A and B are shown apart, each in its own frame.
Chain A
């Protein structure tokens, strides 16, 4: 259930469809409008229908290949070398270990999971679809059993056919290599407890059953996991050959089933990819064939230099955000090359509810009223790049219902639709009533420039409503664990959060559940140490509903969001968009919810 991502690695997810290939546009027209017309009810069936429609269209064009012949058919505008640049590498290439956004984005067209997020989904959070399996599983026995059937004819990039044993071995390997999400995401599988205790001898006995003759894979869970399908689509559940060594592969990339394979990697210099000669497109929506023949990623340039290099057509895509002081330049001279899309990434200030002054509800509410979210937007590049955030579920997340309890003229009982302006008078009154005026407050923030500006704004706000505030800055890699540890007595922690996948439960339960409090630990994501039994019950109810009634679950999570904001364990500040610059020759830019810009779909003119 835990979704962890340090903002320091520029982790990002996206939610808008920026461009469509002609074929995917047909698929979108065929099923996207139907989804909109009928709402989200029975979403599983509709998604399956969309996937089937896509496959049929592909088949009619003669592009859906079922044979095992190597090398995929040529595609429109295919060929060429896609040149990418990033400031530094993402470290290990092992898909079951890597947790850096860059590696995930690069490996999207290299590795496959049993399920996947649709690649041409359009804006909004859509459910996962079948990828390596023939169809979406239906939860059985109250969400304790999931049956899947592996597709035929898929091969790894080394020519070896994909079999059910590879699936079972891959899930065992998740525990053996100590994948960072082994515990949080896969501990519900029967046998996972033993695997977590003794990874070297992990068998997942009784947890993953396979039958090579029917190509069936059956997952048995010890307790229902409302997000289990999402976890099957998460990158750490990539299916690798059973022979893959049970240790972090580091700079060596194990074979995958995607349209590309990694041929060279030097984390100090570059990464090279070429077409997987054994790839045959089996589900265009889940893992489409790529357009460039080669992809080359070079490391070492500063973001400022990356922008200049792309402006000069020396590279086609940069991993880092366009620096703030270059936004005006790229927006005016290179507007046609800019891609702007919303992220499920937001910044907030966690208020420690166990320490003065924020053990007082009125003090927490006061800061929520007083903070100038418009200023926070400006620090991130203005309204085109960021939006004020007034609730704990960001825009685009499932169950998000826009409301703001802490803006001028609003209250938790009568929230406004969105944030309008700060209300310092109400804030000062609440501080007076709380009896906490004059107390010293320390804000612990990362050193990064935007965090620094936000921290100074918070300091000014706290000073304006009657506190003696100071900012303590430290490097982000130190700050994130530091603020989680209760021994450090952090009053206000300025931080950011991005979910690995869109899930209301994933965000709210992880950050504000009693279960997420781990005293004296650097891994206690409930930084507010907020625990409310009533809201905890509401969370359990919403999670249980997710197995049987998704819309009702979404409503329940929206209610949890409002209930949490009434208690104000944090000050949501701003949700940002990603500003990406591409070269003139890059076309067919497709952005997906989880994979951002699909690098394999970029066409080089």
Chain B
């Protein structure tokens, strides 16, 4: 007869292994799933992203338009009739032409802009760029902020002084002014970094600029969190045991900062989306003929009296996405923030 470790108690009744408590991520996921607002926001974001990803399909197979080529002298077939895309205004002096308004058909569903391009198709293509830039900028910003914040908070001393003062200087410059200044310099000539040349119309330029200007805003809370963690007992214990500092950072500090990073993510993405739209509106973000929601608003600025949809549609898209990101960010904070959870439970 072989010994059964599970019956070591001698009762003869098998005892089930104690259920492993769910990890903090799983708990957060469950909390988030119960948050209807956050889930609705996530759903909106997913839908918007999928719609924007399908832009080429919509433009080429549904609307059958080229959203990047001027088409003011062109026409389309609507209900069997050929209709000019730029339509003469009905006035005795024959002054001005207005782009076709929302047609209710697949082609030019939301009408045309001042260059005769399909607004709906450009809206989807613009969304691709806007969402891509804001997401990438948020991720890059978090990477830079995490590096700076952890380095400043964990190592302290001179490193903390230098990094913190650098962040203070960047913080002191208004974020949009900072972004506009960097954009003007890079958009006119592109960016030359040694052997690497980034053309002025490359999306990397707005991504890097937007990421840079928001680094202080993310690095500060991360540094604060690391300062607190550095005094934690498990970090002290690790130090006493002679664990190398890089291991402490990677395996003790970073996992505990991750929740902060995840909470900051959507909020930074929302800020990045607004910044991207502002820069593109000023013609120093996404460069024509590529579209972003900011450039489409700029296109619609001159049509605000006659074809308001050109400016309103991308404006609404920005509002919806930013709102959704903020609600999702709040949901993530509720789900991940331990202190907040403690407060709620008490």
Interfacial residues, chain A to chain B (CB-CB below 8 A) = 304, 322-332, 335, 338, 340, 372, 374-375, 378-379, 381-385, 447, 449, 452-453, 455-457, 459-460, 463, 470-474, 579
Contact = CB atoms under 8 A, between A and B. Distances in A.
Given A379-B72, A460-B70, A470-B201, A325 B91 contact: no
B301 to A, nearest CB: 8
Contacts of B302: 323-325, 449
Interface string B114-133: 11000000000000000000
Interface stretch (B3-11, B39-47, B282-290): B282-290
A472 B287 CA distance: 8
16 contacts: A325-B304, A326-B305, A328-B96, A329-B305, A331-B96, A335-B93, A340-B93, A375-B72, A378-B86, A381-B97, A382-B94, A382-B95, A456-B70, A457-B72, A460-B70, A473-B287
B119 to A, nearest CB: 15
Contacts of B91: 328, 331-332, 335
Interface in B82-102: 86, 88-98
B181 interface: no
Interface string B278-297: 00000100011100000000
A375 B93 CA distance: 19
- Identify the interface centre among A326, A328, A375: most chain B CB within 10 Å of its CB: A328
Nearest to B86: A378
Interface of B: 69-70, 72-73, 86, 88-98, 114-115, 188, 199-201, 283, 287-289, 301-307
A270 to B, nearest CB: 27
Contact of B305 (A325, A374, A470): A325
Given A375-B70, A447-B283, A453-B114, A472 B188 contact: yes
A460 B305 contact: no
B289 A385 contact: no
A384 B304 contact: no
A462 to B, nearest CB: 12
Given A340-B93, A470-B199, 19 more contacts: A304-B305, A324-B96, A325-B304, A328-B96, A329-B305, A331-B89, A331-B91, A332-B89, A338-B93, A340-B95, A374-B73, A379-B72, A384-B95, A453-B70, A453-B115, A456-B289, A457-B72, A460-B70, A470-B201
Nearest to B306: A325
A158 B149 CA distance: 71
Contacts of A453: 70, 114-115
A509 B305 CA distance: 42
B95 A338 contact: yes
A325 B303 contact: yes
B95 A385 contact: yes
Contacts of B92: 331-332, 335
Nearest to A330: B95
B288 A456 contact: yes
What 3 A-B pairs come out closest when comparing CB atoms?
A: A327-B96, A328-B89, A331-B91
Given A335-B92, A470-B201, A382 B283 contact: no
A453 B116 CA distance: 10
A328 B288 contact: no
Nearest to A373: B73
A452 B288 contact: yes
A460 B96 CA distance: 23
A457 B70 contact: yes
Given A473-B283, A579-B95, A327 B89 contact: yes
A117 to B, nearest CB: 27
Contacts of A447: 283
Given A382-B88, A382-B97, A384-B95, A328 B188 contact: no
A384 B97 CA distance: 10
Contact of A384 (B70, B93, B115): B93
Contacts of B72: 375, 378-379, 457
A331 B93 CA distance: 6
A332 B90 contact: yes
Given A325-B305, A329-B305, A375 B96 contact: no
A323 B301 CA distance: 11
Given A326-B305, A372-B73, A471-B287, A331 B94 contact: yes
A13 B147 CA distance: 61
A449 B305 CA distance: 16
A553 to B, nearest CB: 37
Nearest to A442: B200
Contacts of A459: 288-289
A324 B91 CA distance: 14
A325 B200 CA distance: 31
A378 B288 contact: no
A355 B287 CA distance: 24
Contacts of B305: 304, 325-326, 329
A321 to B, nearest CB: 11
A325 B301 CA distance: 10
B121 to A, nearest CB: 16
A498 to B, nearest CB: 21
A474 B282 CA distance: 11
Contacts of B96: 324-328, 331, 381-382, 384-385
A375 B287 CA distance: 22
Nearest to A454: B70
A498 B222 CA distance: 58
A375 B289 contact: no
B201 A378 contact: no
Contacts of A304: 305
Nearest to B90: A332
A363 B92 CA distance: 42
A460 B66 CA distance: 11
A384 B92 CA distance: 10
A478 to B, nearest CB: 8
Given A335-B93, A340-B93, A456-B70, A328 B98 contact: yes
Given A326-B305, A375-B70, A383 B95 contact: no
Contacts of A474: 188
Contacts of A331: 89, 91-96
A338 B92 CA distance: 11
A282 to B, nearest CB: 38
A323 B114 CA distance: 13
Contacts of A340: 93, 95
Nearest to A332: B91
Given A331-B89, A378-B73, A457 B95 contact: no
A98 to B, nearest CB: 29
A387 to B, nearest CB: 13
Contacts of A473: 283, 287-288
Contact of A472 (B86, B200, B307): B200
A473 B115 CA distance: 17
A287 B258 CA distance: 79
Nearest to A307: B305
A470 to B, nearest CB: 6
A325 B90 CA distance: 13
Contacts of B93: 331, 335, 338, 340, 384
B162 to A, nearest CB: 36
B70 A381 contact: no
A463 B92 CA distance: 38
A332 B98 CA distance: 14
A309 to B, nearest CB: 15
A449 B292 CA distance: 17
B268 to A, nearest CB: 29
B76 to A, nearest CB: 16
B70 A471 contact: no
B73 A471 contact: no
Contacts of B303: 325
B70 A327 contact: no
A382 B304 CA distance: 18
